[in-house]
Structure 1
Amino acid sequence: MNKQSVTSAPAQLRHIKKRASKKPKDSPILQSIFNGIPDAILVIDRNYNIVMFNNAMQNFLHLQKEQIEGSNCYTLCYDTNHACVDCQAQAVFQNMTPPSRIRTCLRDERRRQFEIWNFPISDENGEVNYIIEYMKDITDRQRMEKELMQAERLAIIGEVAAKTTHEIRNPLNAMEGAAHYLLNEYDDDPKIQKYLGLIKEQISRLDNIASNLLGAAKPRLVLGEKILINGALLKSIDIVEYIARDKNIEMEIYLDENLPKIRFDEAKIQQVFINILRNACDAIEDSGKIEITGQIRQRTGENFVEVSILDNGKGILPEDSGKLFDSFYTTKENGTGLGLGIVKDIMKSHGGYVFIENQNVGTCVSMGLPIR
């Protein structure tokens, strides 16, 4: 590994600064040092114009030299027409303090993460007219750190699951036995039979969830014959209907009657729908509407059966939008932070997708299963 990386950046920049003249772009030594460093470097003036840059910076921007020199750094790097809100260059110009920060570059399709150092270049009068900006790509490092943290969290889930599954099953078995007894006792009452049947069905579902708690990491699918998605969706709506009723939430359902039959794990997809529907109910304080739509949608050249759940609740804060599927990340006071991560894994294991988007009012969650 090249040692001209994070640990050596300040030393390299001090070396550059010693050789920087009043006009840094006129220094062939500085340009030679710049081009010998594998990380992106640029020099900006007080107007945020780029006066010098190295080959790594040019390779990152995928532009010709004449397109870069003299342009604003915020336009080329972050695709904005004004200085970045969190730009630290102004502070460096004022007090010569070289801060560092981590930023996501929006220009790049990969949305790469950079750790950025800002170092002032002073003239003989102590005036700071230029700043060296050193950008270290830490995307892979952060990804590996995140994967490691995720693995540790999943290990904790596995340990908790092993210790608690047995204890969970004991009361579930007792409830199932009681429901079975009552089914026999009140076999002449259709209404009681209906609700006891629902209780037994959900007890069985809870038992499956307890047994497959590690499905957050490796969901196991049970794929039977091709069936309609409408049945699983309507069962899920029945289960959360009481929550909507208590909060005066109107649920509108628009299902295409011509949706094709597809193959999917009904129990797991039902788990997905229940999770999203409950989240939609939670997002609405009191009185509101949830629209549920089922249709055929084409994405990436493939046809999907897509179910969209749109609520008119409080929506998602910008700072939360990128973390919604992270394990243990939750915005709810009593949330576990596992629900959406499990939803994503289940949809992915089916070859499908899930997207969450803020609307003008509320949130829309779109889930698709492939038509194969």
Structure 2
Amino acid sequence: MQILSYKKLYLPAFAIIAIVLLLIFMIALSTYRTLNHQRETALAFLHSQGATLLYALEAAALTGMLTPGWSEDSVETLIFEFGKNKNIAYIYMYDANGIISHSSDILRHGTKTSWRPELESDNQVIARLLTSADDSQVYELAKRYSPWSHAPQGQTFPMSGSSARLPFLDHHAGDTVVLGMSTEEYEAAHHADIQHAVFMGAILLVLGTAALFFTFVIQNYYLTDKAFNQSRDYLRLVMASMSNGILSIDAQGKIISINSSARDLLDLKDKDVKAFDLKSMIDFQSSGIGKTLAESTPVVDKEIIYHKASRQVPLAMTISPIMDEDKKSPYTGAVITLRDLTEIKRLQEKVRRSERLAAVGELAAGVAHEVRNPLSSIRGFAQFLKHVLRERPKEREYAELMVKEVDRIDNVVTNLLSFARPVHPEPAPTDISGMLNHTVRLVQADANLRNVTIGVVVPHGLEKINLDGNQITQVMLNLILNALQAVDMGGDVSVEARGAGSEILALSVEDDGPGIPPDELKRIFDPFYTTREKGTGLGLAIVQMIVENHGGEITVMSPVPGKRKGCRITVHLPIAP
């Protein structure tokens, strides 16, 4: 049974612990990735800054070369001044032998460098992160010293006061400049980030501890609530297993809970019934639901007819008011029990019909023996009189009338025998469209005399349906003839087939006549019951017998749904494999 307002009040303890651990892992992973990304970003910034400084050194050297008075001391001064930048730990230049020729640190002069990277071009910059003996880190960048690479082609450099246009040959060609960038600011920021991560981890630890504490609190609540939940779940299983439909509604008629059987009975399988208004499906006044909600009056086994899809379903409805626990208000809704009476009604009708058939069968056997033989004699004598009295028109007319009446009685006897001795159906592939159009052609002359239009609607997919074509033709012929006799001059009769691709074939005949009065609906299939002067009362009885022999059923709607008159008779036949 589906309890629509039911919500879980707890999570299992292991689920909460798992969530906390997962949260710790995710935050730790995120923090690690953030710190690592920040480290990479800082190093990238140092690299960019250092490369810019190296290019700036070369640009400054190039500018100095364009002035008279540029000398070796000028290079020394330029490197020394660059080394004064607070973000530069040191800067030096070494020659092809690795000997430091110029340095911001005087102590490095003449020493041999410990790092000689392989540089493939003048513009290539190679960097490394160096950890010194005191655990401080320096970001070193190395680039080949080539200030003349920045000069326009053909630039004239003054040499010893001369302005001759000669290519400048610097004796530092092939030397390498190493720049050490200080990482103190980066290290300070990195340590601040680590402290922040530790602080957040401590907060998370507190939250996790609190979560575990509340886990035990909730677990204790679960243990105390477990007995109630087990009882409720057991009750739900019992309700869901019941063959009767059970649902509860509030005081406004909205569905609160419903079991699967009620869903099936009300055709709500694929619908969301949360807060569904039951008044849109069942009349509260005629069913007694409205009285129960208004006056808290229970209703026991109230029979109603529920329209489900294309058929009517008889239901027995029991309605009980829901009393409020505090007794301050007399009721808060109702519990409705639904019981399908289709099978009971079918069995009752089958019993009544069996009793009628037994009586009719005995009568038919006697009629066939006692009436048919005298009728043959009477008909022969009437035919003789008609021949003898051919010169006397008045008497001949009486003789012809005798023959017609004898034939009519014989037809009644024949129908009676057909009703009493049904023929077992012999299914065979049948084209439904061809069968219905053939049946309509049989009655088209009668329809034309009354100016009645007969329409036939048959969808594709019903070309080869296994059924007894002759017997179903007889069924449809009877139904169409009844419809023709029911409509007025110029009326309409429609014949329709449905069920392509399904297991049920529905054949319906609808007319726009006055319809069938409610007090006659229950009797139209009774043998010998007729409302027409010349009717035998066996047509619909034979129709029902043939349909039941095919394992089907027949439904009657009068008036037609959505109209004020008319009648629709539908034959539902299982499609044999």
| TM-score interval for Structure 1 and Structure 2 normalised by the shorter chain | 0.5 to 0.7
SS in 2 for 1:143: helix
Q: What is the alpha-carbon distance in structure 1 between the residues aligned to residue 340 and residue 454 of structure 2?
A: 46
Amino acid corresponding to residue 185 of structure 1 in structure 2: V
Question: Is 2:540 the counterpart of 1:340?
Answer: yes
Q: Does structure 1 retain, via aligned residues, the 8 Å contact 2:284–2:290?
A: no
Question: Is 2:412 the counterpart of 1:209?
Answer: yes
- Structure 2 spans left out of the alignment, 5+ residues: 1-227, 425-437, 456-468, 502-506, 572-577
Q: What is the alpha-carbon distance in structure 2 between the residues aligned to residue 364 and residue 211 of structure 1?
A: 28
Distance of aligned partners of 1:160 and 1:34 in 2 relative to their CA distance in 1, 3 Å threshold: farther
Q: 2:235 aligns with which of 33, 36, 43?
A: 33
Q: Does structure 2 retain, via aligned residues, the 8 Å contact 1:251–1:292?
A: no
Partner of 1:153: 356
Partner of 2:381: 178
Q: 2:307 aligns with which of 106, 110, 118?
A: 106
SS in 2 for 1:86: helix
Q: What is the alpha-carbon distance in structure 1 between the residues aligned to residue 404 and residue 541 of structure 2?
A: 24
Question: Is 2:489 the counterpart of 1:289?
Answer: yes
Partner of 2:344: 141
Q: Does structure 1 retain, via aligned residues, the 8 Å contact 2:450–2:489?
A: yes
Q: What is the alpha-carbon distance in structure 2 between the residues aligned to residue 332 and residue 346 of structure 1?
A: 22
Deviations 1:321-341 (A, max 9, x none): 5x4653259574998854422
Question: Is 2:269 the counterpart of 1:62?
Answer: yes
Q: What is the alpha-carbon distance in structure 1 between the residues aligned to residue 392 and residue 442 of structure 2?
A: 26
Distance of aligned partners of 1:167 and 1:299 in 2 relative to their CA distance in 1, 3 Å threshold: same
SS in 2 for 1:112: strand
Distance of aligned partners of 1:27 and 1:186 in 2 relative to their CA distance in 1, 3 Å threshold: farther
- Structure 1 spans left out of the alignment, 5+ residues: 1-25, 222-227, 238-249, 257-262
Deviations 1:235-256 (A, max 9, x none): 9x5xxxxxxxxxxxx7336799
Distance of aligned partners of 1:181 and 1:93 in 2 relative to their CA distance in 1, 3 Å threshold: same
Alignment of structure 1 residues 190-209 onto 2, 5 Å: 200=403, 203-204=406-407, 206-209=409-412
Please tell me the root mean square deviation across aligned C-alpha atoms, in Å: 5.5
Amino acid corresponding to residue 341 of structure 2 in structure 1: I
Deviations 1:203-233 (A, max 9, x none): 3453253155142254459xxxxxx768964
Q: Does structure 2 retain, via aligned residues, the 8 Å contact 1:232–1:269?
A: no
Partner of 1:43: 248
Question: Is 2:297 the counterpart of 1:97?
Answer: yes
Distance of aligned partners of 1:347 and 1:145 in 2 relative to their CA distance in 1, 3 Å threshold: closer
Q: What is the alpha-carbon distance in structure 2 between the residues aligned to residue 58 and residue 308 of structure 1?
A: 31
Distance of aligned partners of 1:332 and 1:279 in 2 relative to their CA distance in 1, 3 Å threshold: farther
Q: Does structure 2 retain, via aligned residues, the 8 Å contact 1:232–1:270?
A: no
Q: 1:130 aligns with which of 317, 325, 333?
A: 333
Q: Does structure 1 retain, via aligned residues, the 8 Å contact 2:415–2:538?
A: no
Distance of aligned partners of 1:172 and 1:232 in 2 relative to their CA distance in 1, 3 Å threshold: farther
Partner of 2:464: none
Range that drifts further, 131-140 or 206-215: 206-215
Shift of 1:127: 0.4
Q: What is the alpha-carbon distance in structure 1 between the residues aligned to residue 344 and residue 564 of structure 2?
A: 37
> Which is bigger in relative contact order (C-alpha 8 A, separation at least 6)?
1
Q: What is the alpha-carbon distance in structure 1 between the residues aligned to residue 454 and residue 310 of structure 2?
A: 35
Partner of 1:315: 515
Among all aligned residue pairs of Structure 1 and Structure 2, give the percentage whose two residues are the same amino acid. Answer: 23
Distance of aligned partners of 1:195 and 1:255 in 2 relative to their CA distance in 1, 3 Å threshold: farther
Q: What is the alpha-carbon distance in structure 1 between the residues aligned to residue 279 and residue 524 of structure 2?
A: 30
SS in 1 for 2:247: strand
Shift of 1:351: 12
Q: Which is higher, the Rg of structure 1 or of structure 2? A: 2
Please give the TM-score of this superposition, normalised by the length of structure 1.
Answer: 0.58
Q: What is the alpha-carbon distance in structure 2 between the residues aligned to residue 289 and residue 319 of structure 1?
A: 26
Q: Does structure 2 retain, via aligned residues, the 8 Å contact 1:252–1:292?
A: no
Q: What is the alpha-carbon distance in structure 1 between the residues aligned to residue 508 and residue 322 of structure 2?
A: 56
